[in-house]
Amino acid sequence: MAVVAGVVLTALGFGSAQRQQSLRIQAELARRSNTIVAAVQRELGRKVSLLQALSAFLVTGRGGTRSGLRSFTAELARDVAGVPSLDWAPRVSAEALKSFEEAQWVDGLPGFRIHRGTDALPQAPEYFPVDLGLAGGARVEEIDLTPGADLSGTPLLSPTVNYARTRRTEALSPPLRLQRSNGTAAAVLLLAPVFALRSTGAGAGQATEELLGFAFALLELDPLLDAALSDLDRASLSVELRDVAASANDRAVVRRDASSIDTSTPLLALLNIVGSGPPRQTHTIDIGSRQWALAIAAGPRFVAGYLTWTPWAALVCGLLASSLLGAFIRAFVVRSAELERVQRRLGQERVENLEGMNRLTEDLERERLERRRTEDSLFREKQQFRLMFNAVPAMIWYKDTKNRFLLVNESAAASMGHTVAEMEGKPCSQILPGKAYDLYRDDLEIIQSGRPKLGVIEELELAGGKSIWVRTDKLPEYDSMGRVVGLLVFAQDVSEHRHAEDEVRRLNAELEQRVAARTGELRAANQELESFAYSVSHDLRAPLRTIDGFSQLVVDEFGENLQEAGREHLSRIRAASQRMGHLIDDLLKLTRVSRSELRREEVDLSAMARQVTEELRHQTPQRRVDVLIEATPIVEGDPVLLLTAIQNLLENAWKFTAGAEEPRIEFGATSTPGGKTAFYVRDNGVGFDMVYADKLFGAFQRLHSRDEFEGSGIGLATVRLILRRHGGEVWAEGAAGKGATFYFTLP
């Protein structure tokens, strides 16, 4: 035992010395790896600052010419190593594509074309062409960075471009290979979106951010890593930069191996025998949309600098001391061991006999106490079950296969007019004599099929002629052989609910009769109103035509004999009769809108607005009105009625902008505070006072005299009627002399 203890202590001492040595190596490696990571991040920060400076230069508008941009980027990247290209990819819309290419021809690139690699340029809403390109014949194998190459059209860069644009921050591309005449180098493309504030023209102080393009820099990773490593780090550490998001075979982008030394050095040889591998440190660096892993491993020179002979000297000395101590005590241990074994055997037998008697006594007492606890527990559980069973407001009972009540709660007993003691153990025929046979027949079906019945509505006839309606759930109980041995019934008194249902059915029948009668009356009233409208319009038109015709006849035949005042009076009579005719026509249109059948189809309101605008331009070619119609969501509604509503709103805007210096009408859609889509017609005409906003949509309500603007005052009333028939609403906002905006919603 002493030898074993000595060996164990020696091993523990050796392991402790080795651990201390390993901890020193790990601590120094952690310190130096943190220094390297900080240096890498500083180098990346310098590269990001280049793009930020270029972005600021572009936002100021001073990079308008190619020579100015090239001079600025050359000066900016002059003292920064590992940046073969600092460039700019402006945003070019599809409409400005041709003019942008021609501008590049004038700026020193004749024949300049925007392209996407070797493919023909497809139609796209916008492009981001490279402006300067790589110098010295260098090229990138994975992407095209020649002048005119579209960054957004490259599949490899498209996710990076979208990330930088949506997040408004710098983004890093996947690893690239930069091909030069003297070899290949690992590189990445760093993008930065360039935004500038542009006035929206909607009002003073209102502006929005507009994407001007992307500033980007091609970064070589070898100089980036070399700048972060000192001479000592290059000799003693192995450093590897990997792209975490790349595939497993293409993760290692840049690798620097530590300098090797003579591995026959005794301490290194012993370290290899023990099997302790070189320590490693791995750090993660997040840049833009990508994540990079920087793995730093200790090389032979690094490890050799912290190895000592102390653990091995302690190991050898401990083993020698253990061997001498074992030889000294072996003779004494052999002689005394036999006597000790005999004494131990006798004592053990005596102790075992006493322990056996004690265990037997304890087992008997434990069994008695356990039986007592079991009886008490069963009693408490039975009491608790009965307490909870009776506390349930629902009616619950349990019957055996012979239709006897074996267990009943107080709610069930009280509902049936008995006590629990009166019902338990009694057959169903004594408790429910009027329904015993029907209930047993239903229970027998469950017993034979073994399937429960849920939600059964039953009538229980109680003693004394009283009956109640209950909703029951009947669940069979099975024994170990799968046979049904009883039924557990949950019941709920639904007598009041049943009476309420009967009353509801009676009221519904009465309501249907009333609705049918009212519907017939309303249909007859509508028919009478329609006949009255057409009759009135016909009877009114005849005298109006007579007044207008005879007034014209008097002017034609007796005009020379009439004074100027008489001719003016006749002109007013004719104008009034014609205006009365127009009012009758407008009223008939309003009644037709309310009577016409609603047909729902998909409708493009913007297309309707363009159609109405073209008709207005054709009717009044002498007017010049700036009309802006935005694309709006497709709605569902009656195309004829919705066209009438759009026509009335646009005609009003056209009419009330007649006196504006630069008349303008807008049609579009916006969102309400409640999240609904509201369509609008906005103009810069005469407007109105919001005090009279409630009168705009009434029939014959006018805020301007007929001498100022023509009209009958029916148009907006027709619009409100059409929108309400569709389930929508209309309202207006405006100010006198500052135009008006009419909003409306559709489901």
pLDDT digits over 52-99, tens only?
888 888 887 655 677 777 778 777 777 777 788 888 888 888 888 888
Q: Which of the listed residues 538, 570, 595 is the one where a domain comes to its end? A: 595
Residue 313 located in a structural domain: no
Q: What is the pLDDT of residue 49?
A: 85
**Averaged pLDDT for residues 144-167:** 84
- Residue at 82: amino acid letter: G
As given in the structure block, the two tokens for residue 714 are 């029916």
655 and 726 inside one domain: yes
**Averaged pLDDT for residues 334-358:** 78
168 and 217 inside one domain: yes
Q: What percent of the chain has pLDDT over 90?
A: 6
254 and 151 inside one domain: yes
* Structural contact between residues 248 and 242, judged by C-beta atoms closer than 8 angstroms: no
Q: What is the pLDDT of residue 678?
A: 92
Q: Which of the listed residues 538, 573, 595 is the one where a domain comes to its end? A: 595
The partner residues of 475 in beta bridges, in order of sequence, read 488
Domain count, the chain: 4
Residue 335 located in a structural domain: no
Place of tokens 């009886």: 375
Q: What is the pLDDT of residue 633?
A: 92
Higher pLDDT, 357 or 603: 603
Question: b/e string for 723-737 if b means 16 or more Cβ within 10 A?
Answer: beebebebebebeee
- Cα–Cα distances in angstroms (integers) from residue 180 to residues 134, 188, 351, 361, 400, in the given order: 11, 15, 91, 95, 95
Which is nearest to 724 in space by CA: 609, 602, 637? 637
**Averaged pLDDT for residues 322-338:** 67
pLDDT digits over 237-286, tens only?
888 888 887 655 555 578 877 776 544 455 555 555 444 557 778 888 87
Q: At 229, which CATH number?
A: 3.30.450.350
Could you give phi then psi for residue 156, rounded to 5 degrees? -70, -35
Residue 624 located in a structural domain: yes
Q: What is the pLDDT of residue 29?
A: 77
Cα 82 to the center of its chain, rounded Å: 41
Of 107-116, 127-136, 729-738, the range with the highest mean pLDDT is: 729-738
Residue 299 located in a structural domain: no
Residue 650 located in a structural domain: yes
**8-state DSSP, 428:** H
Helices (H) and strands (E) in the chain, counts: 18, 24
Q: Label residue 82 exposed, middle or buried (CB < 10 Å: 0-12, 13-18, 19+).
A: buried
Does position 6 have pLDDT exceeding 70, yes or no? Answer: no
**Averaged pLDDT for residues 525-551:** 66
As given in the structure block, the two tokens for residue 641 are 């009625």
615 and 685 inside one domain: yes
As given in the structure block, the two tokens for residue 59 are 């936002």
pLDDT digits over 666-709, tens only?
999 998 887 889 999 999 988 887 776 777 776 555 555 555 55
Q: What is the pLDDT of residue 515?
A: 83
439 and 557 inside one domain: no
Q: At 520, which CATH number?
A: 1.10.287
Q: At 697, which CATH number?
A: 3.30.565.10
588 and 621 inside one domain: no
In 620-711, where does DSSP find H-type helix? Answer: 639-656
Residue 178 located in a structural domain: yes
612 and 532 inside one domain: no
pLDDT digits over 547-574, tens only?
777 777 777 777 777 777 777 777 777 7
Provide the mean pLDDT of the chain: 78
**Averaged pLDDT for residues 600-608:** 91
Does position 132 have pLDDT exceeding 50, yes or no? Answer: yes
Rounded to whole angstroms, the Cα distance separating 171 from 163 reads 7
Q: What is the pLDDT of residue 631?
A: 92
Q: What is the pLDDT of residue 275?
A: 47
Q: Which of the listed residues 214, 246, 270 is the one where a domain comes to its end? A: 270
170 and 260 inside one domain: yes
As given in the structure block, the two tokens for residue 214 are 């992307």
Residue 262 located in a structural domain: yes
Place of tokens 């008697």: 357
Q: Among positive and negative, which fits the CA dihedral 292, 293, 299, 301?
A: positive
Residue 727 located in a structural domain: yes
Q: At 456, which CATH number?
A: 3.30.450.20
617 and 700 inside one domain: yes
- Cα–Cα distances in angstroms (integers) from residue 191 to residues 116, 164, 173, 197, in the given order: 18, 7, 8, 20
Domain of residue 696: give its range.
599-745
- Residue at 262: amino acid letter: D
The band of 371, judged by pLDDT with boundaries at 50, 70 and 90, is confident
Q: What is the pLDDT of residue 685?
A: 87
The band of 664, judged by pLDDT with boundaries at 50, 70 and 90, is very high
Rounded to whole angstroms, the Cα distance separating 221 from 63 reads 28
Q: What is the pLDDT of residue 264?
A: 43
630 and 737 inside one domain: yes
Q: What is the pLDDT of residue 710?
A: 59
Please give the full DSSP string across 457-498, using - where no structure is assigned: EEEEE-GGG-EEEEEEEEEEEE-TTS-EEEEEEEEEE-HHHH
Q: Which segment of 47-51, 101-105, 259-263, 573-577 scores lowest on mean pLDDT?
A: 259-263
460 and 515 inside one domain: no
131 and 229 inside one domain: yes
Which is nearest to 295 in space by CA: 620, 604, 36? 36
Rounded to whole angstroms, the Cα distance separating 666 from 655 reads 14
pLDDT digits over 466-503, tens only?
777 888 888 888 888 888 888 888 888 887 787 888 88
The band of 648, judged by pLDDT with boundaries at 50, 70 and 90, is confident
